[in-house]
Structure 1
Amino acid sequence: MMVRGTSQATLRRIASHGTGWIAGNGDIDEFTAFAARVRGQWAQAGRQGRPRTRATVMFALGDHAHTSLARAVSDYYAFAGPDYVRHVIDTAATTPDQIRATIAAYDAAGLDELVFVGNDVNPRQIDLLADLLGDELTSRIPPVRTG
């Protein structure tokens, strides 16, 4: 069971019942700091191995990426207030360079799985992301076990 959140209760749940942690839409520094706490709590609980880590990153690509993402995020997170909306927009990836930098930063931080969440109504977003990542994307997919 993967657990999402950044509270002390989240740490307890991961250490007692979880298999790992899902980081929300934050930045790499937030991920790195809380992931260290997750690993520490895991070890303190006497768990073997290490907890898995997964993070989500909002993205939009193409000519109107930033505008499309800002519109989608502003509507969806309006309840959280303008400061949070700005934070989400600022941490989203809207250029190929931002996508690559995000992958590199999370790789360096030891992340197990990065999930890109599209924030543009155009389904072509998946193609744009796949075209950008190309062979790098498929080389990271573990082989399927049969039998």
Structure 2
Amino acid sequence: VRRFRRVVICVWNICRSPIAEAVFRKMATDAGVVDKWRIDSAATSTYEIGNPPDHRGQACMKKHGVPMRHVARQVTKEDFMSFDYILCMDESNLSDLKKKANSVKNSKAKIELLGSYDPEKQLIIKDPYYGHEEDFENVYEQCVRCCKVFLENNS
């Protein structure tokens, strides 16, 4: 049985991408297909490496009963060679990732915006870091919509 690999990327790996990782892991678990996936998240920057997710994101996940265990890390060259999908949050992430992928000889990952799977057509998942709790709730809701469609399309 082939195991799909999916990593979600944002700038710091403490807000959006850990939420998307946790949401997708719970959906895959609930659907009984989590063993078919390697699920992770990472950052394009080095600023927050080693830190846990933002406390507001953790509170949002707890409210929705979604387990979240993550420590921020930076995307690596190996990620481009080992993951099937690298899904990111905005155009800046997409640009950074495509540049990095061009420097990796055996890059096989399909790099896309996670929002491209949003049935409500909200392409960009906005960074809630400088916002409030409701901004984290919006990220959660968008990730739920996108991850649901992504999982349906790839199961």
Structure in which a larger fraction of residues adopt helix: 1
Q: Answer whether TM exceeds 0.5 for this pair.
A: no
TM-score, with structure 2 as normaliser = 0.31
Higher relative contact order (CA 8 A, sep 6+): 2
TM-score, scaled to structure 1: 0.32
Asked which structure has the greater CA Rg, the reply is: 1
